[in-house]
Amino acid sequence: MARSEGGERVSVEPADRPGFRPAGGRARRRGLSRVGTAVGLALAGGLLLGACAPDINARGNAPTEERLSQIEPGKQTRAEVAALLGTPSTTATFDDETWYYISGQTKQFAVFEREELARRVIAIRFGADGTVEDMRELGLADGREVDVVSRETPTLGNDLSIIEQLLGNLGRFEGSSGNPATTQTIPGL
């Protein structure tokens, strides 16, 4: 840009190229901002679509059919079953006679609640002699909903608010002058 005799700003164009605009002008900046906006929107859209894909998770110890077919009632001991299938997911609550191998598959879509797709429970019961007595397989259809009890067990004592507790403690504690256990002197100090 140049200034005219009156101090006004005027564009100087080369005579051999009418309509020429120098690089870095407003038009070029506008074009770059459009490209940047388009790239930003494309990236944001890709991230949003990627976040919407369902997340499928497999959990637990899932023994293969091949390994399960090797277990025969009356033949394998606990040690042999553990060597073949690994450590059980859990054992029976009141005795050590039943081992459970639990596995499952869940799906969660974005922030929505998790949905259970499959569940497999292999229950292996051992006899008194320590060998396999019975083996059962349970699935998702065999499960039951458990109602959680919302009752609370009351505790003894007063129900005090935080302010009542703080105000109730004022004056309860005496300084070192009133408590003989804290006024002892240690020789040499």
Instruction: State pLDDT tens for residues 9-40.
Output: 666 555 566 665 555 555 555 556 778 888 88
Tell me, yes or no, whether 101 lies in a domain: yes
* 101 C-beta neighbours (distance < 10 Å), count: 22
Indicate if the pLDDT at residue 137 is higher than 90: yes
Tell me, yes or no, whether 113 lies in a domain: yes
Tell me, yes or no, whether 118 lies in a domain: yes
What pLDDT score was predicted for residue 154? 78
C-alpha dist (Å) from residue 143 to 96, 115, 137, 138, 139: 22, 14, 12, 8, 7
H or E element, residue 32: helix 26-51
Q: Are 103 and 61 in contact (CB under 8 A)?
A: yes
Tell me, yes or no, whether 59 lies in a domain: yes
Structure token digits, residue 16: 């051999």
Indicate if the pLDDT at residue 150 is higher than 60: yes
What is the total count of domains within the chain?
A: 1
Mean pLDDT of the chain: 79
Cα angle 146, 148, 151 (rounded to 5 degrees) comes to 155
* 67 C-beta neighbours (distance < 10 Å), count: 12
* 116: containing domain: 55-142
Tell me, yes or no, whether 98 lies in a domain: yes
Q: Are 125 and 98 in contact (CB under 8 A)?
A: yes
Tell me, yes or no, whether 126 lies in a domain: yes
Structure token digits, residue 88: 């059980």
Tell me, yes or no, whether 46 lies in a domain: no
Tell me, yes or no, whether 133 lies in a domain: yes
- Would you give the DSSP letter of residue 114? P
- Over its C-alpha atoms, the chain yields an Rg (Å, rounded) of 39
Provide the percentage of residues in the chain whose pLDDT is more than 90. Answer: 30
pTM more than 0.75 = no
Rounded average pLDDT over 167-183: 63
